[in-house]
Structure 1
């Protein structure tokens, strides 16, 4: 895999992973702010772009609508970036030692993958429960920092999204909080490491997640057995009851 080969050449915790899920949409103006922030931060990064029309075959004119002129060329010369248009092996990327932070839309699957990989997060919720998820990450568990996105943005609200950009200075500031090092970043890395150990214990042999999944399977097997034998005894407390 090209991405993993590139990561293998990088120092631990030196690369920022940027991915907002397969359903996210950003205006060209917002993508330009992200690109500018990545460049000015001085850090290496992998950026997964899912926006419609953003392909490897797009013209220079199209690229200039959402990234600074010759942005990719400069970043490649400095060996600082890898932009992936479309799908990327997220769990493999997050598990790599070179990844130092994860900029995410706070979708639940992405958060769980980030926690299990022990990666601090830069939170950028877009809609739905993602804003609640952000507070869980940043305020409850203290394992991430916010870019300050506070507006619900969907692709049908392009004009609204354009007027409510998250500016490059706010993005860069969040990146630097985690990637520049310092006491705050070290504390966040320590806390996410502790949470990772708890998550691994939960899914391991005898862990709470394994026990509950095993109990669910046993209940389903019991339900199937009862139905096969001709019905469910709905008189005994704690057993399954026939739907009315």
Structure 2
């Protein structure tokens, strides 16, 4: 039932895959209250978000989710560099900087909507605060900052920045690793430009659940007493919707023929670019582990994923044919349906870079992780998974150095997660978290109550 058709939402995600997808999922949740949502980005990034969308039918919501694609001047991005000293995807920085060109068309959209809406609610990525800054001149518009990272990362980031003003009686906090060097100076400078605009935000939205991060949500609220917070996640669906007559991905058909919890899924996300030596070591490690696997072997995203050549990683001679013929594994070089892979009963573990999307999707589907953080929030997410929730093992802890992880280390991590008593115990704990997360988003659950609270807040008279 409609809460208030005179309220409209505008979603403004940052120009990177992990950000585009989260706010598209959030659009689904908001539209379920019969509130119209306007999802905006560049022409290129709308195409990217649409082509990679998964888990629910976007077209079934086209009467409530209105997609706006704005052309911007061309931006030239270098190819991903596997030998870069920092694993942060600096090749995307020109695309990030190009987001400034969205300010004018977004302002025009907001002005147009303001003529017929009682209230415009703008949900913007932290790094897009400057793009929506003109909302301040529109009397019936208000903004909310979307924090794309885990609450654990967000709290510890602000806590460190403020000089750790709250005493840490938490052993995890006392032993936090330094993540200096996990971000480039260019991204930090872009973030600094947003601060003056973020101050005008009416609150913060988190894609997380108290079932996972309740303690750190409470700590964050203690640290930021003047801000409203809503923990509404996970935004991604907990039950996968299959489009009628849609052909399933070949890796899902392969999974159908594997034993329960016997396969490790290996994927390092859309921003990781590995060296040829590291790819070779992963290949050898996976094969020598003796365990079944699906490996998503793609290069990192470019600024425009639809143009130019894509580097094809070289594997040992005959490797792909050998592991496929032996029934041990499958290499996937295109975009893969990660939610569906994690939801499959044959998937028993996930080797991951620990981006928050991947962590949350793995938690939602009850799959423990082998963590290998590369940059940004990923080192702290790894600590959340392995130390706080105890749902993972470390393949490689984060360091500033681009060290080679050997095949033996990889093989041992895979065997430990998939074929050991410790791995079985993690799967049991992961199943408990999966159930708790599902309860949290169901009617009366903690995440659902926070979403209801947010809707009540923005539809207030």
Q: TM-score when scaled to structure 2?
A: 0.43
Matched, 1:12 2:260: yes
Could you tell me which residue of structure 2 aligns to residue 36 of structure 1?
Answer: 284
Gaps of 5+ in 1: 153-159, 226-244
Structure with the bigger percentage of helix: 1
- Tell me the SS of whatever aligns to 1:102: strand
Question: In the TM superposition, what are the counterparts of 1:101-140 in structure 2 within 5 Å?
Answer: 101-140=349-388
Deviation string 1:103-162 (CA, Å, 9 cap, x unpaired) is: 01111111111011111110010011111111111111111100123224xxxxxxx63x
Could you tell me which residue of structure 2 aligns to residue 201 of structure 1?
Answer: 439
Q: Which moved more, 1:89-98 or 1:41-50?
A: 41-50
Q: Which stretches of structure 1, 4 residues or more, deviate above 4 A after TM superposition?
A: none
For the 8 Å contact 2:348–2:427, the answer to whether it is kept is no
Deviation at 1:217, TM superposition (A): 1.3
Could you tell me which residue of structure 2 aligns to residue 100 of structure 1?
Answer: 348
Question: In the TM superposition, what are the counterparts of 1:42-121 in structure 2 within 5 Å?
Answer: 42-51=290-299, 66-121=314-369
For the 8 Å contact 2:418–2:424, the answer to whether it is kept is no
From the superposition, tell whether residues 118 and 219 of structure 1 become closer, same or farther in structure 2 (CA, over 3 Å): same
Matched, 1:186 2:403: no
Could you tell me which residue of structure 1 aligns to residue 399 of structure 2?
Answer: 151
For the 8 Å contact 1:122–1:145, the answer to whether it is kept is yes
Cα distance in 1 for partners of 2:451, 2:273 equals 35
Gaps of 5+ in 2: 1-247, 302-308
Deviation at 1:22, TM superposition (A): 1.1
For the 8 Å contact 2:281–2:407, the answer to whether it is kept is yes
- Tell me the SS of whatever aligns to 1:145: strand
Cα distance in 1 for partners of 2:280, 2:259 equals 27
Deviation at 1:52, TM superposition (A): 5.7
Q: TM-score when scaled to structure 1?
A: 0.79
* CA RMSD across the alignment: 1.8
Q: Which moved more, 1:31-40 or 1:142-151?
A: 142-151
Greater relative CO (CA pairs within 8 A, separation 6+): 1
